[in-house]
A = this chain, B = another copy of it.
Amino acid sequence: MSTVDSSLVAQLPLFAGLDTAELDAVLSDARSARVAKNAAVFRQGDEALSFYVLLHGHVRASKTTAGGEQVVVRYVSPGETFGVAMAIGLQRYPATATAVEDSIVLSWPASSWPRLVERFPQLASNTLRTVGTRLQESHTRVVEMSTQQVEQRIAHALLRLAKQSGRKVDNGVEIAFPISRQDIAQMTGSTLHTVSRLLSSWESRGLIESGRQRIVLRDPHGLVLLSEQDPHGVEPPAKA
């Protein structure tokens, strides 16, 4: 399938404010493609030849340092834009995008971005909002890493993943894609050993239930309390 049914994507944030005809015009430049689990959509340092919308599945964006260490930048959920390097003035992708499960992406040639924004200025505004939201999220992460201990950071990370990509199951909320201790470590600036120890402890306390690349939040509120805990016994601030 090379063409795309516009009804599927009409309400995505990227296309807010476009009417049906305009949407069709934008979509006529796009192609859809299947990406197998564990395959890369693009790699850090590659020339940024395309930008993408995720239609189905989940994609992990991660950066590799000069020393070879990996840091997970974010997980992309269906409907989100990714690989917009071109729009922010980059020639090359600043991170690697890997499908963590079988996924379907919509892609545009980066070369058509200038023409698209000229015809549909809304695209620039919409993308600006998206990138702005990501900037807020990244700042939140910097603040957490600066002020919180590992336990609080990991609790926050799980709660965010569950909110973003949670699936209700009988025992609670399950993170809807495969995620390892190592992945969580790379999201929180920790190590897989520390993550494993903490998750084991939480499991024994009934807060979560987990297995191989699988985590179910059994008591989200309990995790919220954990995530608000202050290391030195100072009370968490009263909710205003």
For chain A, residues 33 to 76, give those with C-beta under 8 angstroms from any C-beta of chain B: 63, 65-69, 71, 73
> Are A147 and B71 within 8 A (Cβ)?
yes
> Are B63 and A143 within 8 A (Cβ)?
yes
What does the 1/0 interface line of A76-117 toward B look like (CB < 8 Å)?
A: 000000001001111000110000000000000000000001
> Are A147 and B69 within 8 A (Cβ)?
yes
4 nearest CB pairs, A to B: A88-B132, A146-B189, A121-B121, A138-B138
Looking across the interface, which residue of chain B has its beta carbon closest to that of A189?
Answer: B146
- A135 on the B face (CB < 8 A): yes
Indicate the member of A125, A136, A234 with the most B CB atoms within 10 Å. A125
Q: Which residues of A contact B (CB under 8 A)?
A: 63, 65-69, 71, 73, 84, 87-90, 94-95, 117-118, 121, 124-125, 127-129, 131-136, 138-139, 141-143, 145-147, 186, 189, 230, 234, 236-237
Looking across the interface, which residue of chain B has its beta carbon closest to that of A187?
Answer: B146
Given A88-B136, A124-B125, 5 further pairs, Cβ under 8 A: A67-B237, A88-B128, A117-B125, A128-B131, A131-B135
Among B69, B71, B87, the residue within 8 A (CB) of A128 is B87
Question: Across the interface, which residues of B come within 8 angstroms of A131, CB to CB?
Answer: 88, 128, 131-132, 135
Given A67-B237, A124-B125, A88–B147 Cβ distance below 8 Å? no
Given A121-B124, A141-B142, A89–B236 Cβ distance below 8 Å? no
> Are A71 and B143 within 8 A (Cβ)?
yes
Chain B nearest CB from A163 CB (Å) reads 18
Chain A to chain B contacts (Cβ below 8 Å), 24 pairs: A63-B139, A66-B237, A67-B234, A67-B236, A67-B237, A73-B142, A84-B132, A87-B128, A88-B132, A88-B133, A89-B129, A117-B121, A118-B121, A124-B124, A131-B132, A138-B138, A138-B142, A142-B142, A142-B145, A142-B189, A145-B145, A145-B146, A145-B189, A146-B186
